């Protein structure tokens, strides 16, 4: 049924963020065969910046990220933060820019899910693990 593959988790979380930033993505942009970006949201309670590494798919000038949390029953914190405040910062390799995050639905969601699934086939398994609809988010460069 599934193409699920256990990822190598030797580079995760804050260490992934630090190595990505130190090297402008030379370490961390490619992770388990997928492309990653750094997403910085504003903490909805603290107001403090929160940065996470996320797998992404490119769609022209847009970046697509999936709020899967491995199929957990609740949305990831980063998604809850951007839902409260959609102005975010993105880093792709050495390119850092402000962006607007938007959750997509319908046909646009299906298109974006397909692009993301091509990068990370495990998303289908994550969707099977949960009853929630996993949000698909498009990041669009601000002012562009």
pLDDT digits (tens, 9 = 90+) for 109-135: 999 999 999 999 999 999 999 999 999
Task: Please give the radius of gyration of the chain, using alpha carbons only, rounded to the nearest integer.
Answer: 14
DSSP state of 41: E
Residue-level pLDDT at 32: 86
Residue-level pLDDT at 5: 57
Query: Of the CATH numbers 3.30.70.330, 4.10.80.40, 2.30.110.10, 3.30.1490.100, which one belongs to the domain with range 13-141?
Result: 2.30.110.10
Residue-level pLDDT at 116: 97
Residue-level pLDDT at 13: 76
Would you place residue 2 in the very low, low, confident or very high pLDDT band (cuts 50, 70, 90)? low
pLDDT in tens, 15-63: 889 999 999 999 999 988 899 999 999 999 999 999 999 999 999 999 9
- Mean pLDDT of the residues in the chain: 92
Length of the chain, in residues:
144
C-alpha closest to that of 120 among 136, 139, 133, 100: 136
Element (H, E) at 79: helix 77-84
Element (H, E) at 112: helix 106-119
Q: How far is residue 77 from each of residues 31, 38, 121, 130, 143, measured CA to CA in Å?
A: 21, 14, 22, 17, 26
Residue-level pLDDT at 1: 43
The answer to whether 74 and 134 are in contact (CB under 8 A) is: no
pLDDT in tens, 83-116: 999 999 999 999 999 999 999 999 999 999 999 9
DSSP state of 125: H
Which residues pair with residue 30 across a beta bridge? 35
Phi, psi of 93 (to 5 degrees): 55, -125
Would you place residue 143 in the very low, low, confident or very high pLDDT band (cuts 50, 70, 90)? confident
pTM: 0.91
Q: Report whether pLDDT(8) > 60.
A: no
**How many CB atoms within 10 Å of residue 76?**
19
């Amino acid at each position: 049924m599934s193409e699920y593959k256990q990822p190598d988790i030797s580079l995760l979380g804050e260490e992934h963020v630090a190595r990505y930033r130190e090297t402008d993505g030379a370490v961390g942009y490619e992770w388990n065969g997928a492309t990653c970006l750094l997403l910085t949201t504003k903490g909805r309670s603290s107001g403090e910046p929160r940065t996470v590494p996320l797998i992404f798919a490119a769609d022209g000038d847009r970046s697509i990220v999936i709020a899967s949390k491995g199929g957990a029953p609740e949305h990831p914190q980063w998604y809850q933060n951007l839902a409260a405040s959609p102005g975010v910062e993105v880093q792709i390799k050495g390119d850092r820019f402000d962006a607007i995050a938007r959750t997509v639905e319908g046909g646009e969601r299906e298109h974006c899910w397909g692009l993301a699934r091509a990068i990370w086939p495990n998303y289908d398994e994550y969707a099977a693990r949960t009853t929630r609809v996993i949000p698909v988010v498009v990041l669009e460069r601000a002012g562009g």
